Structure formats: C-alpha cells, structure tokens
Amino acid sequence: MIALLLSSLARLYGQGENNIWTFGRNYSLNFNHNPPLLLDDRYLNGTLMSNTSQTFMPRSENKYDFSQAVCNANGELLFIVKKYTAIANYMGMGYSIPAPCLFDRDEEPIQGTEFLSESDMAYDRPMVIPHPGNPNQYYIFYVRNGGLIYCLFDMTLNNGKGNIVPGQKNVLHYAYNSIHGSLLAAIQGCDGIWLVTRHKIYNQFLAFKVDQNGLSTNPVVSVAGQMQLGEYDTHELVVSPNGKMLGIPVAKNDLFNYQGGIELFHLDKCSGKVSEDKLFESGNVIYGLAFSPDNSKLYALYNLPASYPNQPYWQTDHNVYQFDLMAGNTTDIVNSKTLVLSNPIALRWGPFCPPQITFMGAMRLGKDGRLYLTNGQEQVCPGGGVGMAIHLIRQPNLPGIACNPSINAIYNTVNGMSISSGRTNFPYEMVLPPTGSLDTITTTPLLVNACFKSDTVLKAPSNVSCIEWSTGSADSAITITETGRYWVRYNRECITYVDSFDVRFSKMPKILQVQYGCPGLIILKAGSQMGDKFDMEVYTPFGGKTYAGANKSYHETTNLDEGGYKVKISMDGSCDTTITVQLTAYPAPDISIEPPSANISFGEGILLTASGGMNYSWTPASSLNVHSSTEVIAKPEERTKYTVVGRNEYGCQDTAFVDVQVDYNNHIVLPNAFTPNSDGKNDVFSIPQGNWKILKFDIYNRYGQAVYLYKENNNGWDGNFNGVACDAGVYYYTILLSMPDRTQTNLKGELHLLR
C-alpha cells in the first residue's frame, strides 16, 4: 500500500502536507526523499504508464494536464486532484468520455468525481484549500467559463479514503464569466485562508475567505491594477512566502497593444484587501514569477525578442532574471536585474530533430528553500539533450549568480517524459490555516484632553488593518464630541491590538474675539455664569497685566481702551491657551449746549438746548422744567452750573456744561425824607419791593426811642407813634435784609420827616 510505503520514508522537513508534487502527465516529485525523487513515467505506486513503458497498465489510462497531491502532516498521500481527465479511445470507439478527477491514496479513481469541463483556459490548475473548521475536509476549486466552482471533499467518506460530500459537488460559487481561471492564489490569513483571484470585467481583485465557518459567500473587493484589463488574461498569480505581496507577470503583445510587465501588489492578511504597489519592466514578454524564501528577491521568466526576422518563439532565448526588491525605489529594483539562468537548446523528437528552446514551467519554492522549475522540454532525439527536467536555484535568497542556479539538476535517465498542454507547471502549494488563537495586546489607556475644542479626532495607527472602533466605525479615524472612553481594535502582522482613549473635553469658554464698547469704557467679557470655571489673565496692547482672575465661570474687566488684548485661559491644570481679543470703540458723541453760558435776572428763565446725541439727562433738575429733553427751561434762584449727559445710538456718552448766573438787583435806594400829610404822595417810608426778605426794619428818633418796628407794622412808617403824629425832624433807620444769594444787607441812614 502507498500509505505504508510513504510512512517508511525519511521525513526531513517537518510538516509534510506539500511533500508530493504531481504535474504534467503522471510526473511527480517526492520530497519524502532527499534529494527529492523524480518519477517520470510511473505513478507514485510504481505502475508504469501504458504509452511509454513496456508493461500495460491494468486500468484505463487517465490523461490530465495539471494535478495536485494532498498529503497529511507526515507526508503520506491522502488523495490526488487531476484537472481535465478523460478516458481516451473509450472501448475502442475513437472518442474520450469524462473520467473521475479525484484519486484516493492508492491512486485509484473515485467514481462520480468528474469536474465540469471544459475550463476556460488551458493553464488552469486545481487548487486545494483545507477547511479550517474541519481537519477532514478540503475545498477543491477550479474555474469553468469564468465561474468559480468548488467541491467539498471529506476524508471520512468512502471507508476513510475520502469522497465529495453529497450536494457539494461542482458548486458554482461565483458567477460565470467573472474571474480568470489561471489567476488563483491561496494565502494564509490571520484567522483563515484567502482565495484571491481577479475579476475579468472590472479592475478588481476578489478575495474569498475560508475560515472556521467555511467558505464566505461574498468576496472582499479591491480596486487595484495599472494595466489594461485584457492584460490580466495571463498565466499566474504568485504570492510571496510571507503572504504580503502578490505578483502578476504579463507578456507584451503588439497585436492588442499590451505593454506587459511585472506588477506587484500588497495584500492585507487580515482584511483581504489588495492595493497597488509598482509596475515595471513593461515592453517585455514575461510569463512567470517567483519570490525568494526571505521575500527579498523576485525571479522572472522572460521570452527574449527574436534576434532575426520571423524567428519562431521556440528558437528564441528563455531566461530567468533576478530582481532585488530591497534595492530601494522602483528604478533601483530595475537596475538590480541580473540574468541567472537560461533554458538550454534541445533537439525535439520529430523529423530532422529540430532545435527547440521551450517555455519554462511555473517556478515554485520547495520546502527545502530551493526554487524549482521545469525546463518544459518534450522527448528529444537520441543524443539531442535532456528531455523533461527540473532546474534548480539552490540559494534563492542570495544576490545575482550567488543564488547558485543549476540547469537540468533533476531528471530521469530513462528519457520517457512527455509534455502536457503548453507549459508543464508544478501544482499550487496547499496553504494551511493559521494555528492557535490570535494574540491580542491591550495597551494602557491614553488620556486625551481635548483642550478648548468642540470635537477631537482619534486615530488608529498607520499601516494597520481590520480597524474597528467602539462607535462601530471602520475608518482610520473618528471625530469625538463627548467626554468618555473609546477604544479601537486593529490588526498588525496578525496580532490584534486594542487601544483605549479616555477623552475629556475642556471646552473653550465663550469669548468673542472682537468686542465693542464706548471709548475708555469697553468691557472685556469671558465665560458664562453657568459654564465651567477657569483662570484668566488679560494683558494690554503694551504688555501690562490689567486683570487676573481665578476659578470663575465668568470674568470681566472694565474701562478698557481700544486695542488688541492678550487673554490667557487656563483650565483643568493641563489646558491653557492665549488668544487675542480685539476691543473696538464705538464712535463717541460730541455734546454741546447753547448758549454755553448765561446771565439772568432773578426770577427769570432761560432756554437751554443740547445737541450731538440721541437722548439727554440734565442735572440739577430742581430748577428745570424737564430733565430728559433736548430743550429745557432753567429758572435758578441762584447761580447754577447745569450738566447734560448725552448718549448716541451706541449708548456712548459725552458731557457738556452751562453756567447760568443770577442777577438779584440788590442795589436798594431809599428816600431820605417823606411827607406824611395824607395827600397820597410820599405819605409812608417803606422798603421797596425786591428779591429779599426783611429781617429788621426799625426807626428811631434823635433820643434813640424806637418809633417804628417792622414786625409790628409791615406796611412801613406813616410818621405816627402810638397813634400820635411825630414832630418834623430828623429820624434814624436800621434795616437788615436777607438776599436771595443767602447774604445779608445792612442799611442805615437819616430820614427827614417833613410836615
């Protein structure tokens, strides 16, 4: 049994899921041997093929171009997938019928496992991806007419030899005419495996995730690619060993105006997103790529241009070039291009044994760190060289020729190898799902004090993927407007990080940066009675501190002049800022009074008129008819200085003054004689009427006897005393008057009484 045979082989390289490569038509390379064992015209179990061996096979011949052998961790064969099989010349009737595509560990066909045919491209290879959620199951993908099709294979069926799960055969997973059959790549992700392919109609990559839950229904779509869409109808999509880079080789095609070249892309292993990297080497016929084990070198297969007119492609050189991806920029990478291997000329089997240089097969890294590729040769004439063989690049991490290329390093001495359709490509590598659980690193919360802002932006680190915020956003940054704790989860190198942010908003107090007021009376205001408390200092335009206040929600400083003031705000011990507040003065009124000064006689009034404002206030108001009018009538009893305060439309005020002086007419002329003879003329000696008050009015005879007292007779002296007429003669008067200006006047003199 093959299982017993393989289990006895030396296991030199650890995990053995990829220990057996099947390719071409029943060719195999077995890494359970050291060096790897090449079988050309035999099955793995040693049975010779009927068309090249001396012994007829005991079962019908199954032809195929591409295949993949699946092994367990010990390198023991589990089953083989073969693409495009047919039973040739069925029962001698001259035609082929579909045959099983899956073969068990004994290499016996599993009945009922035929794939749908035909596939849309000659270079399609089946791809096997293990089910991360079931160690006994495998997804087998292939492409038909641009549609992604799969079968789900289960090793527990068919008595432990495996079979397709009922209902899971040839399932169309993605629509026909959608993807390129030769552009399939399996890549180990952070929590599963990505099946990456390219859309035929749109400039897109499609990444289907295979994880614990099975195969995702909808792909991750990435818009990426710098070439024309038709140029992606090419041979292969290759992946770097670390899974971070994708490469597509494209051949120049003058008929379709395709420039070709090497295009590299970045792959995010967490999200499955593909992004553009670089495009170089346009104008060349490039048909194969491979990365070195350390991801630093890129190897490319070239078909060189014809050296003379009409030279057939099979007579032109086929070379392998190395590029140093660590050289620097794209120009530096191109300048590192080094020829490391050329495919040799062989004499093809046929009439006249014509010379031939064939297309080399797809390059693939072996588990021994070497780079393998077939020389692509058919059978050759005797002595015409080596037929189908394998080239080696033994140390692909080393620069230039130091990579140690070796032409036809592995071949069978029995020249029986036969070419398949076109290039003879090695199978895809079976990519294993990641083991263990994802590491999660939770960082210490970061205190974010959003000083004097209404919002703040929280950012995830750059060059990370699978971003998830506590708000539900998947963007690289979010805008926060409220105090609280926020977190972001992201992935870097398949490690999950959780960053937390304790956000506190110290909102800027309400401060108008342009404030207005009347000249010299401007009030600088900051904050509000219901707001947060803060400290504030105010500096004049000349640098002097004019205000300092602490721990208040509202600040103001008054009687300021026009100019730019520096206002320093401090809050919460960690937030401070300085802003400039421009204080602007309103126009000031120019108030005046007409007349600016006046003299009036006691008891008179005068009209005073103010101008230059919108409203006025007069003081003192006691001697005015009104006190808040443009015009007032002043009637003071004494000298009065009136003040009017006028305000304009901005509320700014100015003051004007007027001095009103009062003439009391206090020059009193008294007669020096009177004639009390009852003739109605000059009969009484009295004080004339005036703006005064009589305090004392006495008249004496020459003996000093009072003949008249004012308080007893306020009408004046009629020349009588006690009802008796006084003698003619000289009398004396004493008068004391209180004047309106609060002064007193004494009058004394002689009075002649005439009869």
pLDDT of residue 80 exceeding 60, the answer is yes
pLDDT at 55 (0 to 100): 37
pLDDT for res 63: 57
Residue limits of CATH 2.60.40.10 in the chain: 439-506, 514-585, 592-663
Reduced to 3 states (helix: H, G, I; strand: E, B; else coil), residue 92 is helix
* pLDDT tens figures, 365-412: 999 999 999 998 877 888 888 888 899 999 999 999 999 999 999 886
pLDDT in tens, 647-698: 999 999 999 999 999 887 777 888 999 999 888 889 999 988 877 889 999 9
Average pLDDT over every residue of 241-268: 95
pLDDT at 14 over 50: no
Range with the poorest average pLDDT among 74-88, 438-452, 551-565, 570-584: 74-88
Q: What per-residue confidence (pLDDT) applies to 58? A: 35
Answer for the pair 122, 421: CB distance below 8 angstroms, yes or no.
yes
In angstroms, the Cα distances linking 191 to 141, 243, 330, 497 are 20, 13, 32, 15
Percent of the chain having pLDDT more than 70? 90
Tokens of 679: 């003739």
A 10 A CB-CB count for 408 gives: 19
b/e sequence 312-332, b meaning 16+ C-beta within 10 Å: eeeebebbbbbbbbebeeeee
Please say if the pLDDT value at position 168 is more than 70: yes
CATH assignment, 592-663: 2.60.40.10
Q: Which neighbouring-strand residues pair with 392?
A: 372, 406
| Residue 209 phi, psi dihedral angles, 5° rounding | -95, 135
Report d(CA 532, CA 552) in Å as an integer. Answer: 8
Token digits of residue 130:
């293990």
Q: What b/e readout covers 178-206, taking b as 16+ CB neighbours within 10 angstroms?
A: bbbbbbbbbbbbbbbbbbbbbbbeeebbb
* CA-only gyration radius of the chain, Å: 58
Q: How confident is the model at residue 1 (pLDDT cuts 50, 70, 90)?
A: very low
Read off the pLDDT of each residue in 281-299 and give the average, rounded to a whole number.
Answer: 96
The CATH code belonging to domain 673-753 is 2.60.40
What is the value of pTM for the model shown? 0.71
Helix or strand holding residue 332 (H, E)? helix 330-335
| pLDDT number for residue 120 | 58
Calculate the alpha carbon distances from 41 to 24, 411, 419 in Å: 10, 12, 11
State residue 299 phi and psi, 5-degree precision: -110, 140
1 burial type by CB count under 10 A (0-12 exposed, 13-18 middle, 19+ buried): exposed
Q: How far apart are CA 616 and CA 646, in angstroms?
A: 4
CATH 2.60.40.10 is the classification of domain 439-506: yes
Residue 40 pLDDT level (bands cut at 50, 70, 90) = low
Cβ–Cβ under 8 Å, residues 562 and 584: yes
Q: What is the dihedral of CA 594, 597, 601, 607, to 10 degrees?
A: 10
At residue 52, the pLDDT reads 41
pLDDT-based confidence at 233, cuts 50/70/90? Answer: confident
Range 514-585: architecture per CATH = Sandwich (2.60)
H-helix or E-strand spanning residue 6: helix 2-7
Residue 304, SS3 per DSSP: coil
The arithmetic mean of pLDDT across residues 22-49, rounded, is 75
Amino acid at the residue 129: I
CB 87 within 8 A of CB 61: yes
Find how far residue 657's CA is from the centre of its chain.
67
Distance in angstroms (rounded) separating the CA atoms of residues 329 and 336: 11
Q: For the stretch 372-392, what's the b/e string if a residue is b when 16 or more beta carbons lie within 10 angstroms of its beta carbon?
A: bbbbbbbbbbeebbbbbbbbb
Greater pLDDT, 87 or 142: 142
Question: CA 617: distance to chain centroid?
Answer: 62
Q: What is the pLDDT of residue 188?
A: 96
Strand (E) positions, 452-494?
A: 456-459, 465-469, 477-480, 484-492
Residue-wise burial string across 209-245, b where 16 or more C-beta atoms lie within 10 A, e elsewhere: bbbeebbbeebbebebbebeeebbbbbbbbbbeebbb
Intra-chain end-to-end CA distance of the chain, in Å: 184
Give the residue from 711, 593, 601, 613 showing the smallest Cα distance to 665.
Answer: 601
Q: Is the dihedral of CA 418, 420, 422, 428 positive or negative?
A: negative
289 sits in which H/E element: strand 285-291
